[in-house]
A and B are shown apart, each in its own frame.
Chain A
Amino acid sequence: MKNFFIVLIMKLLNIALKIAGKQGGNFLGKIAFDWNPEIFKYFKIDCPIIAVTATNGKTMTNNAIGYVFETAGKKVISNKEGNNMETGILSTLLKHCSLTGKIKADYLVFEVDEGYVPVVFKDLKLDTLVVLDFFRDQLDRNGEVETLILKINEFLKTYTGNLVLNSDDPNVSRLGKANPDNENVYYFSVEPYKYATKEMKEAGEGKFCPFCNTRLEYKYYQYSHIGKFECPNCHYGDNKIYKLAQNVDLKNRSFEVDGITYKTKFNSIYNIYNFVAVISCVSLYNIDTKIVQNALSKFVLNNGRLEEIDINGIPTIINLAKNPTGSNVSLRILNEDDDEKELLFVLNDNLADGHDVSWIWDIDFSNLNNVSRVVTSGTRAYDMAIRIKTSGFDANKIEPYLNLHEAVNSLYKTNVKKYVIANYTSLQPTRTEILKLKR
């Protein structure tokens, strides 16, 4: 009875919020969860629940999975806006359930913060968990990566649902051994792309085998510590691959899986991993590959995640980067483009960003390809300027501005192509400031 009233009140609150023109975000879930932490048990869900977790790429992959199902004519409920902690997921459920807790959909697709998987799925039955990658991220807030991995590993010890894992991330691949009785483990992998290297190019984790502490050996690195690895001692990493992306062509934005060519709107190796994860996941639900092809060829995210926009004839690429790997991936895209360009890097150190900005020293700024000027901004504009100067880029071509408006105006003084990288709290203000210039 108690839960019925909680749901009823949340429904009324939601209507009130709508009238007031507010989104709500985590608000409903926060109240309901504080009221009854067992509320997840109340929902009656008879469709598969799919979850995506990772350090980087959750929103992209989650939304792409939802988009593929929708293209196939299915009803999907998803936290597309990225409210990915227990309160955010609860809010989404509360908005879509009946008063008796019934949820009518073909699929529930959630991105879940890597620290909250065990909390959310204590009482919700998870059908498929997709895990993309684990990187160092806001160490002052999240702690070390290892702690997060151990939490998820513990949860997986008794989990028997589908587990879709990145075989090329030693931090993720190890989760496949958490429950030896789970026969539903599916690994995906990507063949080396044009810029794959023999040596690790950027900061990464997982240098040692998690099972026997031997140093891992790599055949190739795609980016950071993502690549084909194997433990020379216990052969950890030698997985049977369920879906393998081949013939990756970033210039033409295409790749192949099982001999079928997929086109996308994105041009980063890191998106190829996201999409082969999507393909692995939806194939478990027998979605026609023609529909998957069609959906992936159209899928975009207009929220500053590798967003390409035109500002009065000046091509502009905006990307979120909240940790070293996100930034290094953005710079890979920049360096793989030979056109002349200018870079704006916006760095804030607010609570949600992490107060520690030392991670920018794990970004590889050496040999920026055909970058004629760098503008920095955000609350740590000067830290960023020092970082880029020290990498060898001419200090006279670096302009720091604490004020974002001044930074963006200075950036668009010229007609040269722009690359914009912004961290968590700076992304939307930067995007808004840039869009203001559009005539």
Chain B
Amino acid sequence: MKELKILYLYPDILELYGDYGNIQVLKYRLEKRGITAIIDRYSIGNNPPDFNSYDLVFAGGGADQEQGILADDLVKYKDNIKEAINNGVFFLLICGAYQLFGKYYKSADGDIVPGLEVFDYYTEAINDRKKRCIGNIVIEANLNGKRTKVIGFENHGGQTFDISNPFGKVLFGNGNKFGDTEEGYFQNNVIATYLHGPLLSKNPELADYIIKHCLDRKYNEDIALESLDDSFEELCRNQLFDRFLNNN
């Protein structure tokens, strides 16, 4: 039986906006297809993980205060993480995790929290603490040459700059900065984004894109994923696109 090994980073800290739902969606879609989902969790105080031994690494967003506590911990794995990304391990990074993988995060008070420097972008908070990019968001991503609408919810004060390759084009909402046209960061095996929702819950095509990418790499094949009944997801997407994009 096929299996996918997922590493879930800081499940007890980066868990503020229901991002754990992404793991549940992945597990659901794998198990429906008879593929075993092995989910390992790592948090402060646990044995160090070997990022290379996983197919997918996931991390979400957390409370500001707790995020500071873990930045010091994560930095210990910088080299191992870089190596894993170069080896093609898939990284799905949401919100706080997205920011932590960049060069640095500059807070509203001007304090600099150094990032992992895995990617070239950097994030700066707006001086006005009360101003945040908050709301529903729809973007258009390019998944294997297919234009796909991706829907979620953003809630971030940080404005992310110097994105070489965005995850998607903003159709509704803010994106990397207030009123931006671009959202997130994308490369072959990395999706870093501000989209909560959770991201994969209303975007089954995106979930399957990630699953296929991981399986193809692991088993060295071009797998055709068995289709699932996504009727609730389709109803939900149509309803919300109608509300957000057509103003109904």
Contact = CB atoms under 8 A, between A and B. Distances in A.
Contact of B153 (A203, A355, A389): A355
Interface stretch (A55-63, A230-238, A273-281, A378-386): A378-386
A360 B24 CA distance: 13
Interface stretch (A10-18, A136-144, A155-163): A136-144
A400 B201 contact: no
B239 A362 contact: no
Nearest to B233: A386
A215 interface: yes
A140 B232 contact: no
Contact of A383 (B25, B65, B196, B201): B201
B155 A361 contact: no
A205 B16 CA distance: 9
Interface residues of B, number: 35
B235 A356 contact: no
B18 A361 contact: yes
Contacts of B65: 144, 146
Interface in B222-248: 229, 232-233, 235-236, 239
Nearest to A213: B69
A395 B230 CA distance: 10
Given A213-B69, A358-B196, A358-B198, A382 B64 contact: no
Interface in B183-218: 196-198, 201-202
A389 B24 contact: no
B77 interface: no
Contacts of A392: 28
A395 B29 CA distance: 13
B135 interface: yes
Contact of A355 (B21, B136, B229): B136
A361 B24 contact: yes
Contacts of B44: 215
Contact of B28 (A205, A361, A390): A390
Contacts of A357: 153
Contacts of B233: 382, 386
Interface string A361-403: 1100000000000000000001101110111100100101010
Contact of A358 (B13, B17, B45, B236): B17
A390 B23 CA distance: 10
Contact of B69 (A139, A208, A390, A400): A208
Interface of B: 12-13, 15-21, 24-25, 28, 44-45, 63-66, 69, 134-136, 153, 155, 196-198, 201-202, 229, 232-233, 235-236, 239
Interface of A: 136, 139-140, 144-146, 203, 205, 207-208, 213, 215, 355-362, 382-383, 385-387, 389-392, 395, 398, 400, 402
7 contacts: A146-B65, A208-B69, A355-B153, A361-B19, A382-B235, A387-B21, A400-B235
